[in-house]
Structure 1
């Protein structure tokens, strides 16, 4: 029987040294997750890579990670790293990026939809709604880098483990990132039969979820397969009170699967084909309106607001919904459709002195959103993007020894990504009455004028197209020198060259294709012109052809066999972007550069009863790329959202996490972070909209950055114990995450604050054997105390109130049955 206990990307060749001190991914502070704890006390036995985490390993067991492309003991890896094992992922139903953020201090995510997904570490790195922009926190699935943030918007199941690395990445793997990486590793095909099937259901939101996998040999000792699937359907927790449409929004309706073939003709060669797909078709893209201020911060009255527009006689009698977390009143939105597909072919060949690995991959992403822009029951405006992205990559890695004490990894990475995105604004019969200025509305506020208001925008549309293309080539290498049995030094270097182009076009017209003709009234035509704005032919952006270096220096010292002290310095970044203002003006975005320093200690103490990791960090980013707002007199809202650079930000703090195992069967995990993350240079920021227009810029220097809570804490436990000698075990777990008050609006609006809150997941049940299968029967709760919170806030404008477009899911309590055979 072949040894199949190696993870994807890990060498099967025995090494002379226990630790491979070559670091992939920049170091950074990643702690072995705070929820490393809510884990089972025994590691799952399967043919995949060892996925044991600190909290679930019996005392004395080695925790295995693959963050640096090899199997290593966690205590031997000289970087702070968070690990979530298969046992935790399965038992606690950790499937999305949002779920992972509850189990790793410092990791946050916004996931209102695929295109606006944003992930950050230590408050840095969130991206949102711009297809020209690269993610600062990368996502790698089975050795393949997902370049578009929308590709991460799916459930990830049948995983061996998830690892989270902080700091500039690139000296050991594919695409460079400036702040960190989330690395997913799927379970591998097995040469012996094994499978799982899980069903989850609940009555409160008509929940039905199912997931499963099966693996076996097709040809004994030569060819094996693994097939897995998931289905996730759950009613929304926001009720649409419009009787003409109805329904519940903020739902989940998604499905997908993965199929793998593993060919191992010899002990020194393997070939793995990996094909996956996932789709969503769900009424999810809503942002309940919370407050519509009547005055600015200087006390001056706002003459035109969302509420005053809808108070016009044209719309009466009608009262819009403002301030509700669970009701909306919309008529024109459509379910949001997302499709993610991909495939990869991974070949690993050990030729003796060198191991060669080839990773060939392609991915496709589709996104189609049609939203009710003003969220009323009137046919006013629909908006949303249509995005199609394709990505192709090729990576080669080479691993070997230079001497008995120096080993290396080196590689070549090639990638091309092309996106076509259409931003669509479509207007209905009542749009003219809503978007008219006060003076325009008063001039047409009569029976004949109402007809002109309807003719102004009915059946019209504006489409803005952008077509960014990026080609990337990189070489990277990293070497580790084991100076003594206790002291090691790792150094790495990367050079990346990228070429980027983009074009933009804006067209206006009618939805049915008929000619756009004047209404015959100058006021009505002016209302139309303000919304459709001026079209333009294709504009070619300023191309980019630039190179950049990333580097790493990483000494470490083993104080004892179980305690490691380490330090690191690294630098990296991401390239600039070819960008445009909304009127087509070319305005490129400068490259982002990151410098990071880490100082930490990790280890096992008191005969492995306590695992503890502590890390100090200092991260500085220059020309931080961010989507922000600028004043725009040509926009009906008075502002435009653009991609730009913030001159400087800095994050410094401490991260601590640990696991306590007082006796077999009980694990207590704890963790926390203090994060002082501020803008070190943002003196000319656009002021929030609460400021009068006479104050165009604000100095945000010294303020805590958007989306960065200063304090984070995680505490939880996992308990499992057999009841007598019955063969039945009782289990219980809980995980609580705390985040302190922080601002979520991109310009630090006074209306952008999210108060501090706790999120708690918990579960109880029994484990027994039924018909030869290890069967778990229990109850699982997410957001147990039904806490209301949001992860993204949009400020008010002339046309909309403050909107919470990242509202977290409400409480769910479901029954779960899982069988492993």
Structure 2
């Protein structure tokens, strides 16, 4: 039975005799004691003992309720004068408890076997309570990770974000790859990082465990795990409400209430959040009228839980949650920069004319009140984005969890956790201008997962205690991609030569050239789908062997299998206005099969064909239908009856338009499937020695394997090898300065083989096409998901709290982290090195992206009783991040200097929490550090914000 469902026994000072002597006061004080006593106090008792004590306490409370009713006046209300002074007003003890700081020695780890104290866990773990998060409204990954140690939230958008621990885990837009950092919410592991990219609320605690995980519960994770535990139902009635007003029209309403439905049998808890806020950046042009600011919020979230306790040996909890479809984040918050004209070797950066500067300087886009200067400066200069197609990333999430706990006897507990989650995502993208270029582009994700876990926890004797279990997970993920084109797309995607042929140098044919440029892509709509299925099975176990009173050895093993498949399909859903300009056919798989698109065969547009006057000439064998297509083109654009009547220049114009269209159609894929299956392992071995009551030392070896992947690259099935991690750690957990200072520290080393990341590989599909077309150097390369031979991470981590100053507490989580590629010879080139002839760069010895040397999170809180029954409180949290590179390719343009963000809160409230008013400032000093790169950067999406929070108990 999981201890968190039960309250500890009533303190001895509240014995039945004291209830009889002072029934009303005893009832109220007992209720306060039962509802507020720290859960970790029960950690050393068996679940059976806890249930028995809970039942006795509930019986006593019911009796006291009856006595309370007898003592009521004629109005039925209990007046302050009828109560002892100790109940009518807060006592000194209550006031002291209200301002008492929480030390790390009292923190429990809820993701461990039963409820282990942090001091007793022989691995690197950081914990933050829900109260600490709530005091400064830290409700999402971006805010939560700033309050934990050596974990980073890699902000991209809802679909592309990820978590990394010790510099490991950043990933791009791929659903075929498992996250390196596991996410576990209320006992259910998430198969995708995206599932956690929503607001969290009504939280009990958040924990981060560093190093490979998987021998205790859930799904394995190679870098670490983040565990979030919500507040559970209770038989003690509660009702809390919070309203926030702030900058940018912010209104946030939060509530949590619950209590008994049937005394001693059924309890419930409901919680909700309504969050509305305008974004900081304005959308200047939005023809769809869907979005007027970037990063605005319009979210509603709710969760309902039920707790059933029919007997001392059995309880069940059901949780249902929903976050309906609503804008989550936005694509397109990108500020483009003025890229260099020349590479370091003196060659042109954009010789063919497909860069933003060249495109926006074309006559096609002149005179529309938007130029290159606006394109690169509008966000920083005006706080505006000029986009007509960007809409909010519409995301939703919902799920259900059923947890059953059964005491088999005094020493063993069986737990079953059944989880279901579904997630949807939809984005509409824009190229960053107000022109009619991208239409209905973007993508969608439809994901669901079902998991089942059985755990057996036992403590048969003083020598050993253990936890073992079986875990099953099935996921289905349908990922759609869309590319649509408007009337300006042809002029935008044309290179300099093609645009010159169609427009600049067209002379009297410029009218036809403009029509061909418009029709080449206008209305074309390309759709793709990946269907990814995964089935994971595992058996695991971990035991603590208490060799002596001071020496404990922890050992665990996990054996699992992973089977997954990826099926890919790409097709043209709408041919638009340029059907007659289609290629003859396109390839649809790696075997060389093709799909006919019905276009006529002609000489392709190249520098040579234009020079010798053959571009656009009919070539090869054309059927009668194809010749009719060619004649229709001649008649539509040039007013002649047959294609043979066209001039050399006119045929070149047709060839240019066909080339623009073919480049965007590119390749199609017809139901190509890739499969992956493997056996995966995790293990841990960790001796722990209690030197004295205040100091515990430990050593640990953790081993973990992250599943490989099955993917399709340009119609070719391929797989990625599993990632294997060995992690070594030496640590100490100590109480110092008369237990006013809690200091936990460790040194670690992690060796990772076959680290999963973007690499450069030969593109067989494109290479075969190049051979077919007679290209002199046919071998083509592509950036794909693959493996880095070896990565190594080493460093030091510190977690500490200090409570030696009256009314004051400080908390620190700091780390030094050196994450490097040890063997990475097939790294991709960053943009500034694109001129190099070698497709690879050897990155061996280079630091990983998103892996700063230094990170530190410092928080402090001051709480002091004032004005009788009031508490004044003030707090801050500062998150420091050292210099880091935000580009996976390690571009010299992507270095972000060290920076820090600070959140502040100051307020006054009732000692019992009946009411509180707090002023909050987020990013108080307006840190604006942001991801950046060669061609663009993403401004920090959350500039300084302040607001006021009203909260209380109803």
Asked if TM exceeds 0.5, the reply is: yes
Pick closer, same or farther for the CA change 1:172–1:327 going to 2, 3 Å.
Answer: same
User: Within 1, Cα distance between the matches of 2:312 and 2:466?
Assistant: 22
Pairing 1:727-766 to 2, within 5 Å after superposition: 727-766=869-908
Pairing 1:387-786 to 2, within 5 Å after superposition: 387-445=445-503, 446-510=510-574, 516-518=579-581, 520=633, 521-541=654-674, 543-581=675-713, 583-627=714-758, 641-691=783-833, 692-723=835-866, 725-768=867-910, 774-786=914-926
Q: Which residue is 1:322 aligned to?
A: 376
| Aligned equivalent of 1:14, options 46, 51, 54 | 46
Whether contact under 8 Å (1:478, 1:491) holds in the other structure is: yes
* CA deviation vs aligned residue, 1:31-57 (integer Å, no higher than 9, x gap): xxxxxxxxxxxxxxxxxxxxxx9x964
User: Within 2, Cα distance between the matches of 1:684 and 1:447?
Assistant: 48
Look up the SS of the partner of 2:670 in the other structure: strand
Look up the SS of the partner of 1:560 in the other structure: coil
Pairing 1:5-44 to 2, within 5 Å after superposition: 14=46
Q: Which residue is 2:927 aligned to?
A: 787
User: Within 2, Cα distance between the matches of 1:73 and 1:282?
Assistant: 36
1:567 positional shift: 0.7
Look up the SS of the partner of 1:536 in the other structure: coil
Consecutive unaligned residues in structure 2, runs of 5 or more: 9-37, 50-96, 504-509, 583-632, 634-653, 770-779
Look up the SS of the partner of 1:379 in the other structure: coil
Pick closer, same or farther for the CA change 1:627–1:461 going to 2, 3 Å.
Answer: farther
Whether contact under 8 Å (1:509, 1:516) holds in the other structure is: no
Greater strand proportion? 1
Q: Which residue is 2:29 aligned to?
A: none
* CA deviation vs aligned residue, 1:382-421 (integer Å, no higher than 9, x gap): 4321110110111000111344211111100111001011
Look up the SS of the partner of 1:381 in the other structure: coil
* CA deviation vs aligned residue, 1:438-488 (integer Å, no higher than 9, x gap): 110100012321111110111112222111101011000111101111110
User: Within 1, Cα distance between the matches of 2:783 and 2:248?
Assistant: 36
Aligned length, in residue pairs: 767
* CA deviation vs aligned residue, 1:740-779 (integer Å, no higher than 9, x gap): 111011111112111111111111111126xx86211011
1:802 positional shift: 2.2
Look up the SS of the partner of 1:578 in the other structure: strand
| Aligned equivalent of 1:238, options 281, 286, 292 | 281
User: Within 2, Cα distance between the matches of 1:196 and 1:16?
Assistant: 31
1:803 positional shift: 3.5
User: Within 1, Cα distance between the matches of 2:306 and 2:39?
Assistant: 14
1:532 positional shift: 1.5
Pick closer, same or farther for the CA change 1:290–1:547 going to 2, 3 Å.
Answer: same
Q: Is 1:122 matched with 2:179?
A: no
Whether contact under 8 Å (2:826, 2:842) holds in the other structure is: yes
Q: Is 1:297 matched with 2:344?
A: yes
* CA deviation vs aligned residue, 1:132-177 (integer Å, no higher than 9, x gap): 1110101000100011121011111001111111111111101111
Whether contact under 8 Å (2:103, 2:802) holds in the other structure is: no
1:265 positional shift: 0.8
1:243 positional shift: 7.4
User: Within 2, Cα distance between the matches of 1:820 and 1:83?
Assistant: 26
Pick closer, same or farther for the CA change 1:641–1:229 going to 2, 3 Å.
Answer: farther
Pick closer, same or farther for the CA change 1:297–1:209 going to 2, 3 Å.
Answer: farther
User: Within 2, Cα distance between the matches of 1:243 and 1:412?
Assistant: 51
Q: Which has the higher contact order (CA 8 A, sep 6+)?
A: 1
User: Within 2, Cα distance between the matches of 1:594 and 1:727?
Assistant: 54
Pick closer, same or farther for the CA change 1:230–1:92 going to 2, 3 Å.
Answer: same
Which consecutive aligned stretches of 4+ in structure 1 deviate over 3 angstroms post-superposition? 2-8, 10-13, 55-61, 243-246, 323-326, 514-517, 627-635, 638-641
Q: Which residue is 1:345 aligned to?
A: 402
Whether contact under 8 Å (1:67, 1:165) holds in the other structure is: no
1:640 positional shift: 5.4
Q: TM (normalized to structure 1)?
A: 0.89
Pick closer, same or farther for the CA change 1:773–1:562 going to 2, 3 Å.
Answer: closer
Q: Which residue is 2:240 aligned to?
A: 196
Whether contact under 8 Å (2:104, 2:119) holds in the other structure is: no
User: Within 2, Cα distance between the matches of 1:347 and 1:764?
Assistant: 41
Whether contact under 8 Å (1:751, 1:802) holds in the other structure is: no
Whether contact under 8 Å (1:130, 1:627) holds in the other structure is: no
Pick closer, same or farther for the CA change 1:309–1:193 going to 2, 3 Å.
Answer: same
Q: Is 1:370 matched with 2:428?
A: yes
User: Within 2, Cα distance between the matches of 1:358 and 1:511?
Assistant: 52
Q: Which residue is 1:101 aligned to?
A: 145
1:61 positional shift: 6.8
Pick closer, same or farther for the CA change 1:12–1:402 going to 2, 3 Å.
Answer: closer
User: Within 2, Cα distance between the matches of 1:640 and 1:337?
Assistant: 31
| Aligned equivalent of 2:182, options 123, 138, 148 | 138
Q: TM (normalized to structure 2)?
A: 0.77
Consecutive unaligned residues in structure 1, runs of 5 or more: 18-52
1:628 positional shift: 5.2
Pick closer, same or farther for the CA change 1:622–1:702 going to 2, 3 Å.
Answer: same
Q: Which residue is 1:816 aligned to?
A: 949
Whether contact under 8 Å (2:109, 2:118) holds in the other structure is: yes
Look up the SS of the partner of 1:87 in the other structure: helix
The alignment yields a C-alpha RMSD, in angstroms, of 2.6
Q: Which residue is 1:311 aligned to?
A: 361
Q: Which residue is 2:419 aligned to?
A: 361
Look up the SS of the partner of 1:572 in the other structure: strand
Look up the SS of the partner of 2:168 in the other structure: coil
Pick closer, same or farther for the CA change 1:631–1:644 going to 2, 3 Å.
Answer: same
| Aligned equivalent of 2:123, options 54, 79, 82 | 79
Greater helix proportion? 2
| Aligned equivalent of 2:392, options 335, 357, 365 | 335
Q: Which residue is 1:167 aligned to?
A: 211
Look up the SS of the partner of 2:458 in the other structure: strand
User: Within 1, Cα distance between the matches of 2:224 and 2:46?
Assistant: 29
User: Within 2, Cα distance between the matches of 1:111 and 1:499?
Assistant: 29
Whether contact under 8 Å (1:666, 1:719) holds in the other structure is: yes
Pick closer, same or farther for the CA change 1:731–1:630 going to 2, 3 Å.
Answer: farther
